[in-house]
Chain A
Amino acid sequence: MISRYTAEIGTATLAAGLGLAAVIGALEFGIGWGDAGPESGAFPFYMGLLVVGASVGTLVQATVGRKGLQSVFLHKEEAVRVASFFLPMAAFVVVSLLLGLYVATAIYLAFVMWTQGKYRLVVSVASGIAAAVGFYLVLEFAFQVPILKGPLEAALGIY
């Protein structure tokens, strides 16, 4: 169980980190005002600074109003549901990068239908493959957009 307070602090810290990255990245260039207007680092620098400042503001606000933020951000069963959605999705990205989007699509759809939709394994696998083939026909034939492919397509001689 995560409290709203923890979530607020975490997100504000993340945002401040991104802002800080912009500030550091911008320092590589001039951040002043030359005779041709602002230098190329100025804009990202001040935007980064603004993000850091406002995130600190959120942090202070959250700490001061801590009592009001003890409500639950994520219940255990909600967390399980989100994880059960997010983890396969993250795995889908990893598999896509390794085996290509079509293979990943088939595996991912079949897995989710089987485990979460409670469909029979055969139905799930068949649907996954059918969807991948469908995407292939629409993208590669109708629109001629090549998308990420992996070793399986190479072995089948599909480009």
Chain B
Amino acid sequence: MDNFASLLHGFGVALTTYHIILMMVGVLLGILVGVLPGLGAPNGVSLLLPLTFTMDPVAAIILLTSMYWGALFGGSTTSILFNIPGEPSSVATTFDGYPMARQGQATQALTLAFLSAGFGALVGVILITVLSTWVAKFALRFSSPEYFAVYFLAFASFVGLGAASPFKTIVSMGLGFAFAAVGMDTVSGGLRLTFGFNELLSGISFLIAVIGLFGIGELMITMEEGLRFDGIRARVKVRDVLKTIATLPRYWVTLLRSAAIGCWMGITPGGPTAASFMSYGLAKRLSRRKEGFGKGQPEGVVAPETADHAAGSSAILPMLALGVPGSATAAVMMGGLMIWGLNPGPMLFIERPDFVWGLIASMYLGNIVAVLMVLATIPLFASILRIPFAIIGPVIVVVCFIGAYTVAGRPFDLWLALAFGVVGYLFKKLDYPIAPLVLAMVLGDKAEDAFRQSMIMSRGSLSIFWSNGLVTTIMLIGLALALGPVLSTLFGRLTKPKASSAVA
């Protein structure tokens, strides 16, 4: 148990007053960037980066990781309160978190989200502590076919959910894939679907789509219904927070399953966003109360949040051990490591154990600090809902558009966000599911790249997807998950035809 000795040493490094203060500052700043949609953890971290040039690497990474935690928590807050995911990985949290808030259970939803997020992150960090060497070796076994299989699995576990018309689901998914294909194509090095517009050169950012579809689309629906949030009357009592904490153990199955999914997706570079979708999909499928999902089911908040944070923290491991970032934020931090004179990669653990274990220890502490701080801010956030809509509505509009602009500093994105807002409004009113579109945009180009890289490797033979035990296993699980519900839905539709078209 060499790792534990190192960890204890790490706690020694991390536990100073200066570092704890840095953690608190980082978490606070993180919550702030996380709450602003568009201005996510990667931006936050890259903005703080110049400040850290003069700091000692351990202190610098503590500040950055704490900011990362804070941003992840802040992202869930807006998902639940306004249906606007502040972070891409908190999209799945809106599915049940926002309905809960609308039913006056904002406090419960926020508390559950924060606690399960904290739990997920802790599981992720424990995994890093115990299995770092093994995980690093395991991650090396992944190549393009395995990546494709992982994306396929994530997708398979999520599609086939929901009662929407299959045509509409396909439209939504197909559009997502088409949007993801816009811009530079890694495999051919050519520009696709840009139609000669410079604005489309860098593709359509998934964040812009989320801001429009969820944020602006939701506001239009709220407006149509008449100028108010239904959560207004939610009164916040400290007792509610405590009561909700007591209910958490009830969801232990969801917690454990979601943490496992999160860790898996964090290590295999599926990433936190895919992890949260996959976890939500499986939670719904395996639940006895399927109908409740999407209408404010607590498990629907617990599952994506746990997986999101478990993936977020375990994604740090491939970055440290292999020099391959598991998420956008990890990529920025990796840039930071290099500037501080550290080389991420297999030797980091051996050459700079004080740094690595100090960081891991700070991840334990940072998470605890973060959970405590966000729990303390719940009354503050929930009280935002009591502000009259005539003020908070336009403020959210402004925040959405400023967020859209800060994604990449492109004026064109303002139009794009507006267009996605209209699409989101129409889709919601006409029962087109939005989640497949979002998931397709997140995974689409990565999955396509991985597929085509595999085809280059195998000279065009599909047999590469069952060329070894690892890829075969993942593909089989994916196929089972994909085909199961499709077959049962088809069967269900054949036995009682045209019952669905009249749903208004």
Contacts and interface: CB of A to CB of B under 8 A. Distances in A.
Interface string A120-159: 0000000100010001001100111111100000000000
Contacts of B394: 88, 108-109, 112-113
A47 B451 CA distance: 15
A47 B176 CA distance: 9
Nearest to B410: A148
The SS class assigned to the B binding surface is: helix
Given A108-B397, A148-B405, A40 B460 contact: no
A125 B252 CA distance: 51
Given A7-B426, A8-B430, A117-B390, A19 B175 contact: yes
Contacts of A69: 504
Given A26-B192, A85-B223, A145 B170 contact: no
B195 interface: yes
The SS class assigned to the A binding surface is: helix
Given A37-B455, A71-B504, A97-B411, A117 B388 contact: yes
Interface in B82-124: none
Contacts of A35: 459-460
A8 B33 CA distance: 38
A44 B193 contact: yes
Nearest to A90: B418
A119 B44 CA distance: 36
A29 B411 contact: no
B480 interface: no
A108 B398 contact: yes
A146 B411 CA distance: 12
A4 B504 contact: yes
Interface in B28-86: 29, 32-33, 39, 43-44, 47
B436 to A, nearest CB: 12
A145 B48 CA distance: 11
A22 B174 CA distance: 10
Contacts of A62: 501
> Most B CB atoms within 10 A — which of A21, A43, A55, A148?
A43
B409 interface: yes
A105 B401 CA distance: 10
Contacts of A33: 460
A86 B388 CA distance: 18
7 tightest Cβ-Cβ pairs between the two chains A and B: A37-B455, A117-B390, A51-B174, A40-B188, A54-B170, A68-B502, A85-B223
8 contacts: A47-B177, A48-B174, A65-B498, A82-B223, A85-B223, A118-B390, A142-B32, A145-B47
Given A22-B181, A38-B451, A57-B167, 19 more contacts: A4-B430, A14-B426, A25-B194, A26-B193, A37-B456, A40-B188, A41-B192, A47-B178, A54-B174, A58-B167, A78-B225, A81-B226, A82-B425, A85-B220, A89-B397, A135-B398, A135-B402, A139-B406, A144-B47
